[in-house]
Every structure is written in C-alpha cells, then in structure tokens.
Amino acid sequence: MMSLVKWKKIYLSFFIFFILMSTIFCGVSRVNISFHIALSLFLLTLIFSSQARNQFLQDKIYLYSLATVAVFVIYYSLSNLWSTSPHLSSSLTHSFYLLVLMALYRQAELAGYKKYVITAVWLGTIILAVLTLTLVDKSHIFHSRLRDGFPWSPDNVIDLGGYMALGILFSVLLVREFKSLWFLVPIPLLLLCLILTQSRGPLMALVAASVVTAVLRPKWNIKLLAAISLLIVAAVGLLYASGFLDTFINRIDSSYQQSFIRFGIWEHAYDVAMQKPIFGWGFEKELAFVNSIGQHVTTTHSLYFAALLKGGIVGFVLFVSVIGLALWRCKQHFALNQKAEVAIWLFSLIFYSTQGMFIISNPREYWVLFWLPLIIAMSTPVSKSAQR
C-alpha cells in the first residue's frame, strides 16, 4: 500500500502545477482540473489515513486560523439568503475551495515544499509578463496600459500590475529560501511590466509594504539591497532612454487627480451600507452610482467598503478578524526574519484598499492577490524537525 509520504507528494504535485497554471491562465476552467485532483486526493487521504488525520488535527494553531476564515466565508455565503439574486450553493462551494486551498498550502509547508509553491507562482508571473509583452500591440504599448495583450491575463490591468508587484516580492522571498541572488534577475522585467500597466495602486502598495516592513524590523542584507537597487536603476534607466518615463509620470499625476473621484464612490458606498448596517445587503449587492465625471459605477473600489456593504457590521467585523489574525501571525515571521512574507501580506492589504471586487469565487486573480498572501501570512514558520 502506498505510504502517506508518497500520497502527499502526488497531491502536492498537482497543487503546485495548479498554482503555476492558474497564475498564467487566470480563470481558465480547465486549469482547475489539477486543483480538483489535488483536492480529491487530499480528502481521500484524510478519510482513509488515520496518520494523516492525526497530523492535520494536531496542527491546532493553523486549525484556529482555518476556523476563523471558515466563519468569515460561510457568513458571506449565507448572506445570499438576504441578497436580491442569491447564489448560495455556488458561494458555499467557492468557500469550500478556499478552505481546501489553505489546507493544501499548509500541507506543502509542513512537507518542506513551501519554496516550490512560491516558485510556481513566481514563475507564473514571469511567464505572464513575457507573454503579455510579446503579444501586446507594440505600436500602442506606451498608451494602451498593456490592454489586449495575453488573452488569459487578468481582465483588469491593475490586477496585472498586482501580479507583477507580487512577483518582485516573491523574488526576494526565494533569494532567502534558495540562498541564491539569481532569483533577482527577473525583477527588471517584472518592474517594466508593472510600470507599463500605468497603474499607480500596485506600485504604491509595493513601495509602501516594502518600506513599512523594512522600518519595523531594520535588519539589512547589504548584498541583497545592493543587487535590488542596481536592477531597479537599470530598469528605470531603460525607461528613461525609451522616453516612456515622462509618459508614466504624467499618467501618475493625472491619475492622482482622478483618484479623488474614489472618495465620492466610498461616501456613496458607506451611505448605502448604512441603510442596512447590521447584516448588510447580501453577497450579490452592487452599487448603482454615477460618479462626478459621469461614469456608471457598480463596485465600491475598496474591498473594505465591499465587505461592509455586503455583510454589514457583522461581516466587516469577521473580515477584520481575519486580517487581524494574519497580522498577529506576522510576529512569528518577523521572529525568524521572514520579512518577505510580511511584506507580501501588507502589499495585499494596501492593494485592496482601492480594489473593490469581492474575493469569494472560483479561482480568479483574487486567489493570487488576496488569498495566497493571506495564507502565507497565516501559515506560521515550520522548523525543520517539524516538517513531515
């Protein structure tokens, strides 16, 4: 009979393959087959192996994290019951998938495969950047914000920029995991793709998360800092030589002026949320708002306002409890100088302050931009002796 270790290698291999392909082919349903295989094999292992069940149940700290997230996603799924167009069964299914995603990542970390999961999503962002830059219309590359490039990239270029920013942070994490500076080589490519999206949000979130993490626990790796600085200077130098840097700065300036429009959206979202303040409007609620420049707006342009609108104060408290627990877990990452994990979670929190699409769904960009950073932060460091 096959050993538990071999079973674990098999379902984690499918899981890692899913992470890679899902990052490249955002939302493609056929990619999800590998996730369903990993899910099925994992559940069968829990059912038929008492050793696997015992190991799972003994990981009490992570079970507490899993339970906290479960309460959050189940509550928002049940909010379909008072939504105008309920989709209860699909929301519960998606919530179940997210909980399995958390469990699979934890199994990977316990098995010593964390760096391979991170490598998969990191490699996915690089391949996505190459495919996007290759297929995008070069005659409009400085003005199209990388629209209509690779057809399976995230629909929103802001999310595409978020992928690139996370790829940079994953590069730093993998330098530590593999003890090799070669993982920094793709940073100029990822930074170039991020800048060409002309998205202010991901870039500011990347800078803010990196600076905050560095300031909180100032312990400098001079070689790493010097290497990253040289790569950034080289990337900026190429942009300056191409003449695009001025275009990008002008875009940042104009988008800064337009960003004040979001305050009107947030004010309207808050006013609508306070019409049903306790339990909210339900999972499917969207805005029907015309902003100050005549655009029809359906999303809150902030995940935090979306949580309040859909789930009311009860849902918002549950959402904050998930965020707070992940931030609390960051203390253990800091204790082992795992600053990249903290920066990844802070990036996601800052990024979603201006992104309003809700996060309970089938595999989509939210799985990479919100759930994976959350799970990385939630999964406390594992000692070599505890890996199995």
Residue 130 has a pLDDT of: 95
CA distance 141 to 144: 6
Highest mean predicted confidence (pLDDT) among 124-128, 192-196, 261-265: 124-128
CB neighbours (10 Å) of residue 267?
A: 12
Mean per-residue pLDDT, 305-309: 95
Residue predicted with more confidence, 74 or 232: 74
Is 243's pLDDT higher than 70? no
Sequence-ordered list of residues with C-beta below 8 angstroms from that of 150, at least 6 positions apart, any chain: 128, 131, 132, 134, 135, 136
Residue 271 pLDDT > 70: yes
pLDDT at residue 6, rounded to an integer: 87
Rounded to an integer, the average pLDDT of 3-8 is 82
Structure-block tokens of residue 329: 């877990």
The pLDDT value recorded for residue 35 is 97
Return the pLDDT at 238. Answer: 66
Q: What is the mean pLDDT of the chain?
A: 87
pLDDT bin (cut points 50, 70, 90) of residue 358 is confident
What mean pLDDT comes out for the span 165-187?
Answer: 93
Integer CA distances (angstroms), 188 to 202, 306, 359, in order: 16, 34, 29
Task: Report the relative pairing of strands 289-290 and 296-297 from DSSP bridges.
Answer: antiparallel
pLDDT value of position 67:
97
Contacts 24+ apart (CB under 8 A), 289-293: 289/265, 291/261, 291/264, 291/265, 292/261, 292/264, 293/258, 293/261
C-alpha 36/C-alpha 34 separation (Å) is 5
With a cut of 70, say whether residue 231 has pLDDT above it.
no
User: What are the backbone dihedrals phi and psi of residue 289, each rounded to the nearest 5 degrees, phi first?
Assistant: -140, 140
- Cβ neighbours, 10 Å, residue 257: 8
Taken in order 59, 61, 62, 68, is the CA torsion positive or negative? Answer: positive
Q: What is the pLDDT of residue 217?
A: 61
Instruction: State the Cα–Cα distance between residues 178 and 363, nearest whole angstrom.
Output: 28
Confidence of residue 87 (pLDDT cuts 50, 70, 90): confident
For 6-65, what is each residue's pLDDT tens digit?
Answer: 889 999 999 999 999 999 999 888 999 999 999 999 999 999 989 999 999 999 999 999
**Residue 1: its pLDDT value, please?**
45
Q: Which of the residue ranges 114-123, 184-193, 235-244 would you say has the lowest mean pLDDT?
A: 235-244
CA triplet 132, 134, 135: central angle to 5 degrees? 70
- What amino acid occupies position 53? R
pLDDT score, position 94 = 96
**Residue 335 pLDDT greater than 50, yes or no:** yes
What is the rounded average pLDDT of the residues 351-378?
93
For residues 147 and 157, the answer to whether their CB atoms sit within 8 Å is yes
Alpha-carbon distances of 359 from 19, 367, 374, rounded to whole Å: 17, 8, 12
Half-sphere exposure of 368 (CA within 13 A, CB side): 32
Name the 3-class secondary structure at 191.
helix
Per-residue pLDDT at 200 exceeds 80: yes
Q: How far apart are CA 376 and CA 333, in angstroms?
A: 10
